[in-house]
Structure 1
Amino acid sequence: MKLARTIGTVTLSRSHPALAAAKLRCVEIVDSVDRIDTQPLGGDLVVAWDLCGTGIGDLVALAEGPEAAQPFRPDVKPLDASIVALLDNVNLE
């Protein structure tokens, strides 16, 4: 699980049938907790399936790999990342 910030929406003109009605977001990975409030974050960009209805600028939790497709089981979805939580606050002590 990684922290990321939603920075854009991805629009497809053609896609795999399993991605029908998918809401895809472009997210930037938070590479350091010290930089969580800076814009831009400077991390890697990832396209992720949005399961939470996020908006631009929202801080999110990102699942990658096989775990990203777990909410869709037993269906098989061709994806590597999905947004699984919308984070209101991050408090590290």
Structure 2
Amino acid sequence: MRIGEVIGRITLSRCHPSVQGAVWKLVVPLSRKGLNGGTEGRGEPIVVFDEMGSGPGSMIAISDGAEASAPFHPEVKPIDAYCAALLDEIRVNP
């Protein structure tokens, strides 16, 4: 699981029928440096399936890879990243 910051929303003109009506967010994964506010610790943006209602600037926990589709088991959905939690506060020890 990774932590990321929501920077936008994605709108699809066509999609797989199993994800019709889904909400997609553009999220920047953050490393430890990024969590401390540094621009150096920000990764490449990824598209994340979101059922939690996150908005721009929200910090979220991202489940990616095979675990991203686990909440939908036994239904199969073509998802690579899933918003697993909205984070209220993050504390990074030096």
TM-score, structure 2 length as denominator? 0.88
Report the Cα offset of residue 51 of structure 1: 2.3
Does residue 44 of structure 2 align to residue 28 of structure 1? no
Distance apart, 1:37 and its partner CA? 5.2
1:75 matched to which residue of 2? 75
Question: What is the CA distance between 1:38 and its match in structure 2?
Answer: 3.2
Contact 2:35-2:92 at 8 Å conserved across structures = no
- Give matches, 1:38-57, under 5 Å: 38=37, 42-57=42-57
Unaligned runs of at least 5 residues, structure 2: none
- Deviation string, structure 1 residues 16-71 (Cα, Å, up to 9, x no partner): 1011110000000102x233253766312110100211011100000001110111
Unpaired runs of 5+ residues, structure 1, are none
**Scaled by the length of structure 1, what TM-score is found?**
0.89
**SS at 1:70's partner residue?**
helix
Structure 1: how far apart are the matches of 2:52 and 2:12?
19
Partner Cα distance (1:62, 1:83) in 2: 5
Q: Does the CA-based 8 Å contact 2:2-2:63 persist in structure 1?
A: yes
Root mean square deviation of aligned Cα = 1.6
* Distance in 1, Cα, partners of 2:21 & 2:36: 32
Task: Name the SS of the counterpart of 1:48 in structure 2.
Answer: strand
Number of residue pairs matched by the alignment: 92
CA distance in 1, matches of 2:78, 2:34: 31
